[in-house]
Amino acid sequence: MNILEAHKVTKTYGDYTALNEVSINVRKDSVFGLLGPNGAGKTSLIRIINQITAPDSGEVFFAGERLTAKHVEQIGYLPEERGLYRKMKVGEQALYLARLKGLDKNTALSRLKYWFDKFEIASWWNKKVEELSKGMQQKLQFIVTVIHEPDFLIFDEPFSGFDPINVNLLKQEMLALKQKGTTIIFSTHNMVSVEELCDDIALINKAEKILEGNINEIKNKNKENLFKVQYLENEVDLKTILPDTAEIIANHATHNNRLEVKIKLPKEMTSNDLVQLLIPHIQLCGFEEIYPSMNDIFIKSVIK
């Protein structure tokens, strides 16, 4: 079931087209990666979903209904450009923003205590925002984004300013929110995080969607019949075993007298074919198919 659907959304600013008939489908209880190079149109689409701006044409549906102002309370948005009041105290500001999202004071204080304790930031309560590091401000921004427990969250570059420890903390919280039934749109340039967190992705480039689908299915479609083979070192030259149409991409020694080689097969050959060719001549220690990374797929899709 899709919780969000955008149908042929177009947005222009004067003579500039930010989105050209872009459609996406976001499954309920999933993490959806919204990807693309700078200026591709991601932020324009996010702003439309948040009803900050409206599309020139096309439609957006939320939970089966046309997106309207009533859905705002079900959405949490962490923008790439942060929006905290630097002169306000941390606790005062967090409470103010929680109340703006419809929480009564007691509920807001209870939830803020939970998150401040969880992130070990209770001692910040009476500090001014301007006294905090960028990473600390980001923690506060995350808390006020999720405080009203919305069904749908949008995180735009949420790891900006974080060290690796806090990046992992935030990733764990995102996955925990997903497990509790929250759907997340995750926009980032970090393809490693995309592979760790996302179920599905859409890739936008120059205002148009150029790729969409399940990550595993996309990687499977883009694989190149490439295999990594480890074997005990001997005098056999693999070139004499493999057909001329096969290609040795890399070949190097590892520990314990093992050699590792990457072999690209022609399309008509399978992994079974390769194993049958190798077994009579070498002692296999490891064998796996190599799938392209999301970083490889991103670059290949954008520059082609």
Per-residue pLDDT of the chain (304 residues; tens, 9 = 90+): 899 999 999 999 999 999 999 999 999 999 999 999 999 999 999 999 999 999 999 999 999 999 999 998 899 999 887 778 888 999 999 999 999 989 999 999 999 999 999 998 899 999 998 998 888 888 999 999 999 999 999 999 998 878 898 899 999 999 999 999 999 999 999 999 999 999 999 999 999 999 999 999 999 999 999 999 999 988 788 888 999 999 998 777 777 788 889 999 999 999 999 999 999 999 999 999 999 999 999 999 998 7
H helices of 42-190, in order, are 42-49, 90-100, 105-118, 134-146, 164-179
Residues 199 and 51 both lie in one domain: yes
**Measuring CA to CA, which residue among 197, 96, 190, 112 is closest to residue 147?**
112
Q: What is the pTM of this model?
A: 0.89
What pLDDT score does 257 carry? 81
What pLDDT score does 202 carry? 97
Where a domain ends, among 220, 235, 270?
A: 220
Residues 153 and 182 both lie in one domain: yes
Residues 238 and 184 both lie in one domain: no
What pLDDT score does 293 carry? 94
Query: The domain that contains 299 carries what CATH number?
Result: 3.30.70.3100
Residues 200 and 253 both lie in one domain: no
Distance CA 22, CA 15 (A): 18
Residues 277 and 292 both lie in one domain: yes
Q: Are strands 16-27 and 247-253 parallel, antiparallel or unpaired?
A: unpaired
Residues 31 and 85 both lie in one domain: yes
Residue 93's CB is within 10 A of a number of other CB atoms, namely: 18
Q: Which domain holds residue 119?
A: 2-220
> Which amino acid does the sequence have at 108?
A
What pLDDT score does 61 carry? 96
Q: What ranges make up the beta strands (E) of the chain?
A: 2-13, 16-27, 31-35, 57-62, 65-66, 75-78, 152-156, 183-187, 200-205, 208-214, 226-232, 247-253, 258-264, 284-290
Residues 197 and 210 both lie in one domain: yes
Q: In what order do the strands lie in the sheet with 65-66?
A: 16-27, 2-13, 57-62, 65-66
Residues 16 and 91 both lie in one domain: yes
Query: The domain that contains 181 carries what CATH number?
Result: 3.40.50.300
The count of domains in the chain is 2
CA 290 to chain centre: 21
What pLDDT score does 256 carry? 76
In this structure, what token pair is assigned to residue 238? 């693999």
The residue to which tokens 């500039």 are assigned: 16
What pLDDT score does 84 carry? 84
Residues 138 and 267 both lie in one domain: no
What pLDDT score does 187 carry? 95
Interhelix angle 105-118/90-100, rounded to 10 degrees, is 130
Residues 284 and 187 both lie in one domain: no
Residues 187 and 295 both lie in one domain: no
| Cβ atoms of residues 194 and 294 within 8 Å | yes
Distance CA 235, CA 107 (A): 72
Residues 116 and 254 both lie in one domain: no
